[in-house]
Structure 1
Amino acid sequence: MTVCINGQFFSSNEAKISVFDHGLLYGDGVFDTIAAVDGKIWWLDEHLERLFQGCSSILLKHPWSKSELSELTKETFLQTKQRSGRIRITITRGVGDIPSYSIDSCQPNLIIFVTPLDFPEESVYSQGLSLKSVPYSRIFPKVKNLSFLPSVLGYIEAKNTGYDDSVFVNYSEYVTEGTTWNIFLLTNNKLITPGDSLLIGVTRNKVIELAEYLGISVEESFVPLEMLYSAQEVFITGTTKRIIGVTQVDNFVIGNGCVGGLTSKLLKEYCRVFY
C-alpha cells in the first residue's frame, strides 16, 4: 500500500505520524472517504469541498489548496495500480504543545491512502438490513471529524444485540443518521430524509438529485422514531454502500418485511448512472 503524507509517498511500512499528533490525542481533525470504481474517482470535487468546509468549521488552517489535494489524491490512487479502491483523506491539526490544547505551534498533517473497495454482498441488497435505534449523536455532526466514538459504539451495540447496524436518535427523539450513512423513508407516498444534526452525505445529495430526476420529490424534515417504525420503506445511503433497503428497525418490521419497490428502483438507477 502507498501512503501519501504531506505530499510525500511512502510504503505502508514506512509511513509514520507522531504519537503526539492532535488527531490521535484529541480526535482533532477531519477526513473523507471517496469511492474509485473502474478507474474513475467519483465526486472528488464534492468530497474535497466537504473536507475543506469541515476544516473551516473546526478552525483548522492548512497549507493545501483544493487543486493540490485533488492531484495528490489522484496520484495516490494511481500508485495503487488498482482499478477500484476506497480512498481516505485525513487532515489532522498535527503536533503541538503537550498537554496544552493551544494550536499556535501545530503543523497540520495530510494523510491519503487507498484500501480495497468492497461493496456489500448481493444478499444484503436483496434482503435488506435490520437497525437498532441508539441514543447517540456524533460530535459536531455536520463535520466529518475524527471523533467517531458514537459510530463505533453504535455499530458494536447493534452487532452485540443481533442487528446489522445502528441508527442515531437525538435527545429530542428525532432520527438523524446512521453510523456511517444517511437514511431515507417513504411514508404516505412521500420520500423524506432528516435535514438537521447530521453529516450531509455526498451520496445522499446524489440520491436526492436522482429521485427528483425520476419525478420523486424529496422532503427534508424532522423524523420522529415512530415515523420510521411505520414507514412504507426505509433505505440508507453511503459512499461504500450505495443504496441499501432496511426491513426492520428495533422490533418493528418495515412495510411487508421486504426491500421496497422504490428502494430497488433507485438502486438500479443509481448503479446505471453512477457505480
Structure 2
Amino acid sequence: MYVYINGQYAKKEEVVISPFDHGFLYGLGVFETFRIYNGHPFLLDDHLKRLNAGMKMLNIDAAFNRKEVIKIINELLAKNGYTHAYIRFNVSAGNGEIGLQTESYSEPNILMFSKPLPPLNGMTEKKAVILEIKRNTPEGGERLKSHHYLNNVLAKREIGSAPDMEGIFLTQDGFLSEGIVSNVFWYNDGILFTPAIETGILNGITRRFVIALAREAGLTVREGFYKQEEAENAEEMFLTNSIQEIVPVTRFFGTDYPGREGNIVKILYKYYEAHRETLWSRTQLGGPAND
C-alpha cells in the first residue's frame, strides 16, 4: 500500500515520522476520514473546512483546498488501484523542542493513506448500549477530530470488538451525547431528535449532512439535551458516521426498533445514496437551513 507523506508517495513500510513530532509527544494533530465512491470524495469540502478550523485552533500554520487535496487523492488512488476507498487525511503539528510550544507550527507532518472498501449494498445494522464511562468534556471550546482519543479507546474496550455493537456515551450530567465512533439520532412522533453540540459531541460531517437531508425531506429536526428514556421510547433510532453512513439500530437498552425496515431510515438512506457520488458539500442541497 502506498501512503502520501509531506509531498511524497511511499510504501507504508517506508514511512517515517520523527519522535519529536508534537503530534506524537503532545497529541497536537487533527484528521479527517471520508469515503471515496467510484472515485468521488464525498463531502470533501466539508471535511476540509473542519480540518482547517481544527488546525487553526491548534496553531498549525496550514490550510488545504479542494484542488490540491484532489490531486493527492487521485494520485494515491491510482498508485493503490482503488476506486472505492477509505481515506484518512492526517495533519500533525510537526517537529519541535521538548516542552509545550506557544508559537505556531509552520512545518506540520501531512499524511494521507487509504484502504479499499467494497461498494455498499444497503444499510448495516447495530445494537446500541449505554457506556459506563462518561463522555469527557472537549479540551477547548468545541470537540476537535483530534489525536486525543483515550476516551473513545477506553469505551471501545468496555464493549469489546463485536462489529454489530456501538456504545453510547452519556455526559457527566446524564444526557445522551454520541457513540464511540458515531453520532446518534432517533425519530418519534414526526420529529427527528439528536443531541446538541453543547453536550460536547463531535459535530460530525455526516451528522450535519443527515440533518440537511431530513430538512430537505420535510422533517422537523430538534437538537437538544435528552435523557436516555427519550430515545428508548422512539419509533426508530440510527447512528451516523462518514464511513458507515446511516446505521439503523435494532436494539437499545431493552427496546427493539425496526432497524433497516424503518420508514425514516429508508427515506434518508435513499437521499444519501442518490448524492454520495456527486456532492462536495451539504450546502449544495440548497436552502438557508442547511448552511
TM over 0.5, shorter chain: yes
AA aligned to 1:55 is M
Percent identity of paired positions between Structure 1 and Structure 2: 29
1:235 touches 1:263 (CA, 8 Å); kept in 2? yes
Question: Which residue is 2:242 aligned to?
Answer: 239
Structure 1 pair 163–59 and aligned structure 2 pair: CA distance change class (3 A):
same
Offset of 1:162 from its aligned partner?
Answer: 10
Q: Which runs of 5+ in 2 are unaligned?
A: 278-291
2:248 touches 2:259 (CA, 8 Å); kept in 1? no
Question: Which residue is 2:135 aligned to?
Answer: 136
CA distance, structure 2, for counterparts of residue 73 and residue 163 of structure 1: 30
CA distance, structure 1, for counterparts of residue 165 and residue 96 of structure 2: 39
2:52 touches 2:64 (CA, 8 Å); kept in 1? no
Is it true that 1:187 corresponds to 2:188 in the alignment?
yes
Offset of 1:118 from its aligned partner?
Answer: 5.4
Q: Which has the higher contact order (CA 8 A, sep 6+)?
A: 2
CA distance, structure 2, for counterparts of residue 32 and residue 43 of structure 1: 11
Q: 2:214 aligns with which of 211, 214, 219?
A: 211
Cα deviation 1:150-169 (Å, max 9, x = unaligned): 11221221127997121111
Offset of 1:53 from its aligned partner?
Answer: 0.8
Structure 1 pair 211–3 and aligned structure 2 pair: CA distance change class (3 A):
same
Structure 1 pair 138–165 and aligned structure 2 pair: CA distance change class (3 A):
farther
Cα deviation 1:183-225 (Å, max 9, x = unaligned): 1111232101112221111111221222122211211122222
TM-score by length of 1: 0.87
CA distance, structure 2, for counterparts of residue 31 and residue 116 of structure 1: 19
Offset of 1:97 from its aligned partner?
Answer: 1.0
> In angstroms, what is the RMSD of aligned CA positions?
2.6
CA distance, structure 2, for counterparts of residue 10 and residue 45 of structure 1: 26
CA distance, structure 2, for counterparts of residue 40 and residue 120 of structure 1: 14
2:126 touches 2:164 (CA, 8 Å); kept in 1? no
CA distance, structure 2, for counterparts of residue 91 and residue 132 of structure 1: 32
TM-score by length of 2: 0.83
Q: Which runs of 5+ in 1 are unaligned?
A: none
Cα deviation 1:110-135 (Å, max 9, x = unaligned): 1111112358886x72x542333341
Q: Give the paired residue count.
A: 270
